[in-house]
Amino acid sequence: MTHNKPLAEAARRHLLDPAASLKTLGQKALPRLDRAEGIYVVDENGHRLIDGPAGMWCTQVGYNRREIADAMAGQAMNLSYTSPWYMGNSPAIRLAETIARLTPGDLNRVFFTTGGSTAVDTALRFVEFRNNVR
């Protein structure tokens, strides 16, 4: 596998490295991943690496899983997105029911979010709501 210099140059010029020093910003590109399979990611030089943090904790089931891709594609063709603030949807209801059945005690309600910042924002709103009710 060859190093793609135009792609590396485009990355250096256009991608923001959130950990870069402002003094060195834009002087070099982050290492590039080109593909993944199972628990491995493959870098621009063909090196296979174990993805320990699982793509920042969002690919715990592994990469390149045909059954998951097929399920995602099928759902996207049926109903790709609904906001949890305005409507429910069948897959979310079924998953919430399963989670409620598996959790202990009276942990019977689930709220799904699209990411960490949304989860924090929602938690703050729920706390405010509870305090307003009290």
pTM: 0.63
Q: Sort 116 into a burial class: Cβ within 10 Å, 0-12 / 13-18 / 19+.
A: exposed
Q: Which two tokens stand for residue 35?
A: 């593909």
Is the pLDDT at 1 greater than 50? The verdict is: no
Rounded-to-integer distance, Cα 85 and Cα 100, Å: 20
Say whether pLDDT at 106 is over 70. Answer: yes
Sheet holding 40-43, edge to edge: 33-37, 40-43, 48-50
The pLDDT assigned to 55 comes to 73
How does strand 40-43 pair with strand 33-37? Answer: antiparallel
The pLDDT value given to residue 2: 46
Q: What is the per-residue pLDDT for 101?
A: 96
Q: Out of 3-12, 77-86, 120-129, which region has the weakest mean confidence (pLDDT)? A: 3-12
Average pLDDT over residues 24-32: 86
Side chain identity at 77, as an amino acid letter?
A: M
Determine the pLDDT at residue 3: 53
For residue 133, give both structure tokens: 């009710």
pLDDT at 14 over 60: yes
Q: Which of 18-22, 39-43, 104-108 has the lowest mean pLDDT?
A: 18-22
b/e 79-97 (16+ beta carbons within 10 angstroms → b)? eeeeeeeeeebeeeeeebe
52-102: pLDDT as tens digits: 887 777 777 889 999 999 999 999 999 998 888 788 899 999 999 999 999
- Residue-averaged pLDDT of the chain: 88
